[in-house]
């Protein structure tokens, strides 16, 4: 029985491999599209948090939070971030309380039991911009603005993608695209951006001009700088313990190296007088 089944299993595997190869060749033979050819890889972005020795630049994170609060918060939520978490950016307890007090968070009227709102406190999380998807679609041309808490983890190239997207808007479709692919069109209500997979997205350019915000530390608020700062801030919201993780990782590697050296030394000492 085994002699009969074994060849059948082998033939089955071979058949699957042939199907996979055929599918690969078929997909490669498909005609190019504008989305495939003109979708650009994110630009390089150097942040203090990059690399195994990376750590956050709190001054930049505060600027990024300011950009989020004054520009992005009109549409995008930060539902996984609590106001008290902002203390890690260098804000004092009083400053965190003041930031929380600027927001209205969902609550319940203790007298009637009906839904109500109240001033935020440090323990609250950032409230949702829209109560549900229906409201979000109604306010954004049937598109749902994504929550930004984990955005740099949810997108390939993370912060570089965010930065490139924010600085990559173009007022019109480039001539080279329409000349090669005359069928490609950007539908009404969408905006051309080569860093978006479909080359067009519903979000209008959020950073439209220099000095859209005024930085307290005097840093020139160019569009490029604002995009870098908010991208850095979103790296922090996605992984606030990044610096601690890097420290723990380096300590672990150092421990392993030292332990390996001690173990090798012990081995040489124990077997020094032994013959193999």
Confidence of residue 23 (pLDDT cuts 50, 70, 90): low
**Angle of helix 223-238 versus helix 58-70 axis, rounded to 10:** 100
Mean pLDDT of 157-184: 96
pTM passes above 0.75? yes
Question: Do 160 and 171 share a domain, yes or no?
Answer: yes
Phi, psi of 179 (to 5 degrees): -70, -40
Mean pLDDT of 188-206: 96
Given this model, what pLDDT does residue 16 score? Answer: 61
Residues in binding site: 72, 75-76, 203
Question: Do 136 and 188 share a domain, yes or no?
Answer: yes
Asked if residue 230 has pLDDT above 70, the reply is: yes
Residues in binding site for heme c: 72, 75-76, 203
Question: Do 58 and 72 share a domain, yes or no?
Answer: yes
Q: Measured between alpha carbons, how far is 90 from 103 in angstroms, rounded to an integer?
A: 20
Asked if residue 71 has pLDDT above 70, the reply is: yes
Given this model, what pLDDT does residue 5 score? Answer: 64
Domain extent at residue 252: 241-271
> What digits encode the pLDDT tens for the residues 147-168?
999 999 999 999 999 999 999 9
Asked if residue 25 has pLDDT above 60, the reply is: no
The domain tally of the chain equals 3
Mean pLDDT of 44-54: 93
- Report the CATH number at residue 225: 1.10.760.10
Residues pairing with 108 in the sheet: 115
Other Cβ atoms closer than 10 A to 85: 18
> What digits encode the pLDDT tens for the residues 101-130?
999 999 988 888 888 889 999 999 999 999
Question: Do 204 and 215 share a domain, yes or no?
Answer: yes
Confidence of residue 100 (pLDDT cuts 50, 70, 90): very high
Tokens 């080359």 correspond to what residue? 199
In a domain, 193, yes or no: yes
Phi, psi of 106 (to 5 degrees): -60, 145
- The CA–CA distances, whole Å, from 199 to 84, 147, 172, 177 equal 38, 21, 11, 11
Question: Do 207 and 134 share a domain, yes or no?
Answer: yes
């Amino acid at each position: 029985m085994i002699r009969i089944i074994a060849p059948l299993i082998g033939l089955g595997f071979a058949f699957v491999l042939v199907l996979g190869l055929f599918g690969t060749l078929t997909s490669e033979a498909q005609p190019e599209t504008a989305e495939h050819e003109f979708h650009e890889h994110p630009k390089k972005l150097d942040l203090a948090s990059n690399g195994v020795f990376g750590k956050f630049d709190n001054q930049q994170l505060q600027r990024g939070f300011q950009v989020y609060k004054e520009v992005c918060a009109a549409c995008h939520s930060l539902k996984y971030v609590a106001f008290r978490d902002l203390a890690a950016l260098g804000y004092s307890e009083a400053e965190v309380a003041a930031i929380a007090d600027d927001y209205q968070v969902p609550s319940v009227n203790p007298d009637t039991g009906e839904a109500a709102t109240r001033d935020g406190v440090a323990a609250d999380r950032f409230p949702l911009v829209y109560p549900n998807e229906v409201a979000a679609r109604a306010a954004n041309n049937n598109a749902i603005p994504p929550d930004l808490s984990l955005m740099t983890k949810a997108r390939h190239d993370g912060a570089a993608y965010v930065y490139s997207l924010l600085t990559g808007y173009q007022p019109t479709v480039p001539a080279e695209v329409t000349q090669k692919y005359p069928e490609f069109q950007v539908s009404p209500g969408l905006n051309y951006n080569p860093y978006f997979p479909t080359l067009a997205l519903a979000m209008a350019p959020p950073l439209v001009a220099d000095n859209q915000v005024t930085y307290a530390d005097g840093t020139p608020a160019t569009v490029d700088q604002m995009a870098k700062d908010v991208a850095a801030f979103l790296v922090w919201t996605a992984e606030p313990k990044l610096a601690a993780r890097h420290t723990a990782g380096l300590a672990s590697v150092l421990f392993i190296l030292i332990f390996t050296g001690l173990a090798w030394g012990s081995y040489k000492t124990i077997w020094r007088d032994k013959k193999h």
